[in-house]
Structure 1
Amino acid sequence: MKIGLYVLSIVCLLLIGCGDEKDSTPLVETTNKNQKPAITSKAIEDFDYTDYALSPESEEALANWEKYQELAIQIGYLKKADLSFFNGEIEDLKKFIDQFKTETPKQLLTNSIISRTAILETMLLKLNENLTLENIDDKLKLLSVRELLVAFSNLNYQINKKLESDIFNEIQPE
């Protein structure tokens, strides 16, 4: 009788232990590699901000500032969703920023323009970081693009304002 009880206990344990097995492998969310990138020229065009352009006097004054001209070209590419300059190596970007700041014309070394340059530097580095990290949401990447465009536009505004002020100060009353 004891043997029958042991056999019955073993059979019950086997039945309980071998019940419905659920798949223990975790579900892995697959991403579609063919998804359209969220950073498109259309998405960038839809940003709501005031885009200041340089005045003719400012363009003339900045004609020899090579790093500004290069940045303006890259911002133009950014508006067309070409991110190649901004998602490159951080060392190259930092080198560009340092040259940008050191080559600033002396007449533009005012507190307002220096602060706009610092903000522009921050936004450049933030955009680079957000573009190079894979786990950053596309909405945050777009926000970083917008912030950089706003920072560049504000720099243009301050440059225009400074050079316009210089012109008005040169005018002597009769």
Structure 2
Amino acid sequence: MAAVLYIIWYIKAQIKPDNYLLFNYIFVISAILIGVNTGQRAVEDVPGLLTFVTVSVIIDVISFSNLRLSKYTLNSVVLNNKRILAKLLIFANVKKYHFYLPVFGIGDVYFLSVILTSLYKLNSNYLFYGNLLILGGTVLDIALIWLLHRKEKFKGYPATVGMSIFTYAFFIIRAFI
């Protein structure tokens, strides 16, 4: 509950850009705690996890597409509000260039927290494979972003796609082994 209250306060608060990094770290921890809680309580079995993954990816892909419906999704609204967007991205402090580099979205952290917690809950040995899923999905996402970023209408890429592909692949391979 404290994590949810912090997130609400953080989004509404007037924070100086110099302080974003500190509050951003607390925000990431809050999102992880909420994701862990969701993974422990909401996902009971493999179909439940795959349903969560599927719904999350569909919403994420629609948000980043150029469909008429996409402009009403939460991601699209946030992408058009720079003040809130700056708070919902995870930054790395790049001292060499004197700026903060947006690395990941907070929704992606939540998504990964739910997946890892759910995998661990289903079988503690799955935690190792879950980390491999994240690594493989991230590499796939980076490759796709690199290929697509120069397109004229490119406004971002849903990072949940790579992780979901590898999550489905894991359970398909697991079913045959």
Normalised by the length of structure 1, the TM-score is 0.36
Which protein has the bigger strand share? Answer: 2
Which protein has the bigger helix share? Answer: 2
Greater relative contact order, per chain length (Cα 8 Å cut-off, separation 6+): 1
Choose 1 or 2 for highest CA Rg: 1
